[in-house]
Amino acid sequence: QRPVNQAAAKPVPTLPDAQTVTSVQHWTDRLFSFRVTRPASLRFRSGEFVMIGLMGDPDPATGKQKPLLRAYSIASPSWDEELEFYSIKVQDGPLTSKLQHIQPGDQIILRPKPVGTLVHDALLPGKRIWFFATGTGFAPFASLLRDPETYEKFDEVIITHTCRDVAELEYGRLLIEKLKTDELMQELIGADHLAKLRYYPTTTREESPKMGRITTLLQDGTVFRDLGIDGITPETDRAMVCGSLGFNKDIMAILEGFGLEEGANSDPKHFVVEKAFVG
């Protein structure tokens, strides 16, 4: 027997786990950030990631569409009512070639199951925390830097960000500038040269005040001289790392050379690492 209401029997053309884009900002021809509505039930720890994406093209044989999902660090802090993401644009990337064209009002798919290792729970208490990022690896730190817990847990917070050129630093630079002028955050981080939050941006392919890979600058002691720090030790220092595979590997070796050990949610230690995900 045919259903009485035929319209109701048709598939509904909405995405599963749909969220609505509220704003989009393009930083360079390789980088953009965007904000989406947050599912009311979504709880996450600053630094975690979720799977997000769009519907893929129809399969030529069956005409069926499958969601095209990638892991994205949530760049907004856990208290924010929206969710923010910071993404690379890969011109022939299956997802980001499309995702870079989203506009406010569009829908994306967001699977509300946050996970990840760049969380405070995976680190032992310490005096100083280092956030080491390259490129879009800044995203989880954009969340953690805006989370008061970071400043409650540590006396000093150092974020290093290495990018190819100056324009690629802009998202992070602006975020830190806003933090330093935010009245509520000022109470936590201070506003003067004694501020708890220290920002150490470097570029590798364009002239800027600080040139070079952070790995090199750590190995030759430049970072410590610039920041007036004796060095990194397991007694005082903790670190979170997010960048390309090669970067993560190189930083890990450096941190292990300083005597730090890798931790996990179930076994907190001195540092944790996560790959910056490329769509």
CB 142 within 8 A of CB 86: yes
Q: Which is nearer to ligand A2P, 214 or 260 (CB)?
A: 214
Q: Give me the residue label for tokens 């993401």.
A: 85
Q: Which is nearer to ligand A2P, 250 or 274 (CB)?
A: 250
d(CA 121, CA 272): 10
Tokens of 77: 């802090």
d(CA 240, CA 247): 12
Tokens of 130: 């280092």
Position 244 contacts ligand A2P (CB under 6 A): yes
CB of 181 to ligand A2P, least distance (A): 27
CB of 167 to ligand A2P, least distance (A): 12
Beta strands per DSSP E along 60-141: 67-73, 82-88, 107-115, 128-134
Of residues 158-217, those binding ligand A2P (CB under 6 A) = 162-164, 204-205, 213, 215
Instruction: Identify which range of 117-125, 156-164, 254-262, 266-274 contacts ligand A2P by CB under 6 A.
Output: 156-164
Site string for ligand A2P, 120-149 (x = CB under 6 A): --------------xx--------------
Q: Give me the residue label for tokens 């005040």.
A: 209
Residues in contact with ligand A2P by CB under 6 A are 134-135, 162-164, 204-205, 213, 215, 244, 246-247, 250
